[in-house]
C-alpha cells in the first residue's frame, strides 16, 4: 500500500492502546515508525533498480524482518527518550510493522511472509497499491467523535467488512468467468483488482491451449478480453536455461503467472518472460529478456519495469 495508508492504519492500531493521539507518546511513535519500517528496504535502491525490485517485499516484509525493524525502532526511541519502556515500544513497533505486511499481503504484489522457508511473495490479490475506498474509510473514521479505542475498533471493523465484501465480489466474478469459459478446459484462474478501473477486476485464465488476459465488471458480468496468448512449453530447453539466469530466477519468485516467448533473430535466440498479472495499454508492466548465442550461452539480459530498462548481468 501507499505510505499514507500504512501510516493511517498504524495510527489506528496505536489507538487500541486507549491513549489519546500524540506523536510524543512512545506508543504512537513506535507504531507509526513500525507501520513504515518494512518499506525502509528502499535503501537497496543505492545498489541499483534491479537490486531494489528484487529486495522489496522480501526479507523486510517477513516476520523475522519486522522483528529486526521493531528492535531497531525500540532502541532508537530508548536512545532519544530514556523514560520510554523498551518492551512497550518493541511491542507496538512490531504491531505497526505487522499491520504493514498484513495489508500488503492483500495487495497483488504480495509479501514474503514465509521467508526464509519460502522466498516467493504470497498475495491474497484483493487490493491495489492505493485503494481509494479503503483510504476514505480510514479518513472518515478519523472524524468520528469517539475515544481513541472506540474509533480504532470502528475503523478496523469497517476495514474487515470492506475486505469481506471484496472477497465476495471476487468470488462472484470467479463464478461468472467459470460459467463463461469452457470449464473442462480451464486449468487456472487468477483474479486481481483492476489497475485502471475501480469497479472492475483484472483476470488471467490458463486453459489447455491459451492464456487469456482481460477484465470483468465487479458489479455486472461484463467481460473484456485484452490478450489471448497461445500456450507454449515452459519446460523447453531455452526456457530452462533462461530460468538459470539472474533475472530468470528472480521472475520465478516474483510472479506466479509467467509466460515465455522464444524469438530467433540473426542466429541469436531471444527469450522474453512476461508477468501476466499487469497489462497496461496492451503492454505487460514487468518483463525480462535473455539473449542466447547459438550455443545457448546467455550473452545479454535486461528487465523492463514501469517503462524502465534495467540491464542485468547474466
Q: Residue 47: which residues within 8 A CB-CB, separation 6 or more?
A: none
- Let me know whether 109 and 190 are in one domain: no
Query: For the chain, where are the E strands, in sequence order?
Result: 186-193, 200-207, 210-217, 223-230, 258-265, 268-275, 279-280, 283-284, 286-292, 298-305, 308-311
Residues facing residue 7 across a β-bridge: none
How high is the pLDDT of residue 45? 62
- Residue 106's nearest CA partner among 89, 88, 121 is 121
- Looking at the structure, do residues 117 and 180 belong to the same domain, yes or no? no
Phi, psi of 35 (to 5 degrees): -70, -20
Its domain, for residue 292, covers 237-311
Of 186, 201, 230, the residue that ends a domain is 230
Q: Is residue 79 located within the same domain as residue 96? A: yes
Considering the domain boundaries, does residue 155 fall inside one? no
CB-based contacts of 271, cutoff 8 Å, min separation 6? 238, 239, 241, 242, 248, 260, 261, 262, 263, 289, 290, 291, 292
The answer for 20, left when phi > 0, alpha when psi is -120 to 50, beta otherwise, is: beta
Residues 9 and 110 in one domain: yes
Structural domain contains residue 68: yes
Structure confidence at residue 72 (pLDDT):
94
Residues 101 and 210 in one domain: no
Domain end (from 230, 253, 280): 230
What is 247-282 written as a DSSP string?
HHHHHHHH-S-EEEEEEEETTEEEEEEEETT-EETT
How many domains are there within the chain? Answer: 3
Task: Using the 3D structure, point to which of 195, 210, 230 is the last residue of a domain.
Answer: 230
Same-domain status, 23 and 105: yes
pLDDT tens-digit map of 6-24: 999 999 999 999 998 888 8
pLDDT of amino acid 122: 78
The residues of the chain scoring below 50 in pLDDT are none
What is the predicted pLDDT for the residue at 42?
Answer: 72
| Cell numbers describing residue 49 | 533498480
CB 127 within 8 A of CB 170: no
Cell of 39: 518499506
Pair 118, 173 in one domain: no
Its pTM stands at 0.83
**298 in the same domain as 202:** no
Question: Within this chain, do residues 307 and 215 fall inside the same structural domain, yes or no?
Answer: no
Q: Which of 286, 222, 237, 299 is nearest to 258 (CA)?
A: 286
Same domain membership, residue 307 and residue 193: no
Q: Which of 257, 253, 248 is nearest to 206 (CA)?
A: 257
Question: Are residues 88 and 10 part of one domain?
Answer: yes
Name the 3-class secondary structure at 117.
coil
pLDDT for residue 176: 93
Look at residue 109 in the predicted model and tell me its pLDDT. Answer: 79
136 part of a folded domain: no
Residue 50: inside a domain, yes or no? yes
**Co-location of 51 and 119 in the same domain:** yes
pLDDT digits (tens, 9 = 90+) for 197-249: 889 999 999 988 889 999 999 999 999 999 999 987 667 888 888 989 988 88
Examine residue 152 and state whether it is found in any structural domain, yes or no: no
Amino acid at each position: 500500500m501507499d505510505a499514507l495508508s500504512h501510516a493511517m492504519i498504524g495510527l489506528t492500531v496505536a489507538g487500541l492502546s486507549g491513549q489519546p493521539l500524540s506523536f510524543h507518546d512512545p506508543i504512537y511513535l513506535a507504531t507509526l515508525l513500525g507501520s513504515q519500517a518494512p518499506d525502509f528496504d528502499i535503501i537497496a535502491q543505492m545498489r541499483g533498480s534491479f537490486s531494489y525490485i528484487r529486495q522489496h517485499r522480501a526479507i523486510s516484509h517477513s516476520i523475522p524482518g519486522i522483528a529486526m525493524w521493531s528492535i531497531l525502532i525500540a532502541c532508537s526511541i530508548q536512545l532519544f527518550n530514556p523514560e520510554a519502556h523498551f518492551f512497550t515500544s518493541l511491542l507496538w513497533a512490531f504491531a505497526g510493522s505487522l499491520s504493514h505486511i498484513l495489508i500488503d499481503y492483500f495487495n497483488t504484489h504480495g509479501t514474503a511472509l514465509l521467508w526464509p522457508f519460502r522466498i516467493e511473495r504470497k498475495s491474497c490479490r484483493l487490493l491495489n497499491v492505493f485503494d481509494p475506498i479503503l483510504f476514505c474509510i480510514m479518513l472518515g473514521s478519523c472524524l468520528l467523535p469517539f475515544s481513541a479505542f472506540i474509533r480504532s475498533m470502528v475503523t478496523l471493523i469497517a476495514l474487515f467488512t470492506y475486505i469481506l465484501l471484496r472477497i465476495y465480489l471476487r468470488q462472484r466474478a470467479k463464478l461468472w468467468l467459470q460459467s463463461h469459459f469452457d470449464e473442462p478446459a480451464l486449468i487456472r484462474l487468477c483474479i486481481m483488482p483492476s489497475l485502471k478501473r475501480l469497479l472492475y477486476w483484472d483476470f488471467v485464465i490458463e486453459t489447455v491451449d491459451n492464456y487469456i488476459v482481460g477484465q470483468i465488471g465487479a458489479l455486472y458480468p461484463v467481460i473484456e478480453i485484452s490478450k489471448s496468448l497461445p500456450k507454449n512449453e515452459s519446460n523447453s530447453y531455452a526456457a530452462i536455461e533462461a530460468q538459470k539466469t539472474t533475472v530468470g530466477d528472480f521472475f520465478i519468485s516474483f510472479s506466479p503467472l509467467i509466460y515465455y516467448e522464444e524469438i530467433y533473430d540473426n542466429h541469436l535466440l531471444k527469450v522474453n518472460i512476461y508477468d501476466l498479472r499487469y497489462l497496461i495499454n496492451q503492454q505487460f508492466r514487468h518483463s525480462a529478456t535473455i539473449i542466447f548465442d547459438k550455443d545457448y550461452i546467455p550473452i545479454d539480459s535486461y528487465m523492463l519495469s514501469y517503462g524502465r530498462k534495467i540491464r542485468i548481468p547474466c
